[in-house]
Structure 1
Amino acid sequence: MKILVIGATGTIGSAVAEGLAARHDVVRAARRGPLRVDMAEAATIDALFTEVREVDAVVCCAASGGLTPLDVPSDTAFWSGLDGKLLGQVNLVRRALSHVRDGGSVTLTSGRFAEPVPGSSLGYLVNAGLEAFVHAAATEMPRGVRLNTVSPGWVRETLLGLGMDPAAGTPVADVARVYMEAVEGAAHGRTLAVSVP
């Protein structure tokens, strides 16, 4: 299969791209590099598909987002995660419809927090919205194209990079396997959660 991996330079995206490349032709795109895309800019998604054209699957691992306090002074700063993670991935699905071959798949990234913490309300809104979108939009996918989202939770390597205790994280190789199962399996309209070790 020819598989487009977006966010292929990140911790999760690079592991997903490497795992899929063992059996498939992987096209890697990211915010930086030879094949560029910014999920907050719909025009770059259009440009990406103009260059890549037809694929068998699209995997989006470029879903960043951090904690945003409710009382942040600027509306722009508060809503910043909405454009790239939620609306960007919705735009990706809409644009991918005419580029993913029959029976292919689109896999997005949502997420989860172990429990609500200060600053997590926007993250909860975005992730819940994305998962609800996938569940409903799956009924509209044409030509047997499957749509799923992966909820990776904390990744051990990310926690290490942040200088935090990695015990609550899942190794990135295990996270990547869930994305690969979404591409190669039969799931449709589902949120695939990565189990914590």
Structure 2
Amino acid sequence: MKVLIIGGNGTIGKKVSEKLSEKHKVIIAGRNSGDVTVDFSEVSSIKNMFDSVGKLDAIVAIAGDAKWDKLDNLTEEDFYIGIKSKMMGQVNVVRIGKDYLNSNGSITLSTGILADDPVDMTTSAAMVNGAINSFAKAVALELEDGKRINVVCSDLVEDSFEKYAAYFPGNTPVPMHKIVDGYVKSIEGRITGRILRITA
């Protein structure tokens, strides 16, 4: 399969790319590096990315930003960071990318534990994660020609646990291989409309 991984050089994306490269042709898209560059918050950049890579068998999005802060400190513009990047970035990948997807192809989006179990200072991030989960379940009802969509929704990964541990008291980090397996299941399996919750 020809697989595009947006965010393929990130903490999780790099491991997913390595695993999928064992069996498939992987194209990595990133903000500043990769086989093709993309600004996830700009529709024109997403369209240019798809134009440059052509038809695909799988699209994977492991990218997007959101502001972490106390609700009292968050401005409307702060909320728009997550809405424009992590939420609409993935929405636009689906809107535009489905037309570049071959029959029976798949789209895999990424959220996280905050959608179901938010912690302090994650009002904005939790909001966009929950929105993407609901979006994907609805889109699955409308995709045609055997095309599928799923979401990998993981707990905090071991590889970045030290950086975020203070925000997640009592959480047991997830081994990276379990999260990678979630992406493989979404891409190589036949499921659709699923939120694949990956926990320790």
Common topology (TM > 0.5)? yes
Which residue does 2:43 correspond to in 1?
A: 42
- After the TM superposition, which residues 46-125 of structure 1 pair with which residues of structure 2 at under 5 Å, given as runs? 46-72=47-73, 74-113=75-114, 115-125=117-127
Unmatched runs of 5 consecutive residues or more in structure 2: none
Are 1:2 and 1:56, in contact at CA under 8 Å, matched by a contact in 2? yes
Amino acid at match of 1:152: S
CA distance in 1 between partners of 2:174 and 2:89 (Å) = 26
Unmatched runs of 5 consecutive residues or more in structure 1: none
Deviation string, structure 1 residues 103-129 (Cα, Å, up to 9, x no partner): 000000011137433322222221111
What is the number of equivalent residue pairs in this alignment? 195
CA distance in 2 between partners of 1:100 and 1:132 (Å) = 21
CA distance in 2 between partners of 1:77 and 1:122 (Å) = 8
Give the drift of 1:69.
2.1
CA RMSD, 1 decimal = 1.8
Amino acid at match of 1:45: I
Q: 1:148 to 1:163 in 2, by over 3 A?
A: closer
1:148 partnered with 2:145: no
Amino acid at match of 1:155: V
Q: 1:171 to 1:192 in 2, by over 3 A?
A: same
Which residue does 1:32 correspond to in 2?
A: 32
CA distance in 2 between partners of 1:131 and 1:73 (Å) = 23
In the superposition, the TM-score normalised over structure 2's length comes to 0.91
- Identity of counterpart residues, as a percentage? 32
CA distance in 1 between partners of 2:123 and 2:67 (Å) = 11
Deviation string, structure 1 residues 69-125 (Cα, Å, up to 9, x no partner): 212253212321111111110110010111010000000001113743332222222
1:170 partnered with 2:171: no
CA distance in 2 between partners of 1:65 and 1:177 (Å) = 25
CA distance in 1 between partners of 2:26 and 2:86 (Å) = 22
Which residue does 1:12 correspond to in 2?
A: 12
CA distance in 2 between partners of 1:40 and 1:193 (Å) = 25
